[in-house]
Amino acid sequence: MHAVLRKLVLTLHVASSVGWLGAVAGFLALALQGLTSRDVDLTRGVYLAMDITAWLVIVPLASASLITGVAASVGTSWRLFRYYWVLVKLLITVFVTAILVLHMRPIESLASAAARGRLDPTMHDAQQLMVIASGLTVVTLLALTGLSVYKPRGMTPFSSLKIRS
Amino acid sequence: MNETTSRDPPERSRERASRPATPLWVKLFGAIGLIVLLLFVLLHVSGHGFGGHSAH
Give this complex's ipTM. Answer: 0.73
Contacts B46 to A, Cβ<8 Å = none
Q: Name every residue in A having a CB less than 8 A away from some CB of B.
A: 84, 88, 91-92, 95, 99, 102-103, 105-106, 109-110, 112-113, 116, 118, 123, 125-126, 129, 133, 136, 143, 152-155, 157, 160
Scanning every residue of chain B, which has its alpha carbon at the shortest distance from the alpha carbon of A136?
Answer: B36
**DSSP result, B1-56:** -----TTS-HHHHHHHHHSPPPPHHHHHHHHHHHHHHHHHHHHHHTT-SSTT----
The verdict on pTM exceeding 0.80 is yes
Mean predicted lDDT score pLDDT of chain A: 91
Torsion angle of the four alpha carbons A47, A52, A53, A56, in this order, in degrees rounded to the nearest 10: 160
Q: What is the maximal distance between C-alpha atoms in chain A?
A: 65
Comparing A25 with A133, which gets the higher pLDDT? A25
Q: Which candidate, B2, B23, B22, places its Cα nearest to that of B12?
A: B2
pLDDT of residue A129: 87
> How many angstroms separate the CA atoms of A140 and A95, rounded?
11
Residue A28 has pLDDT above 90, yes or no: yes
Residue B54 has pLDDT above 70, yes or no: no
Residue A141 has pLDDT above 90, yes or no: yes
CB contact under 8 A, B53 and A125: yes
Per-residue pLDDT band at B10 (split at 50, 70, 90): low
Residue A109 has pLDDT above 70, yes or no: yes
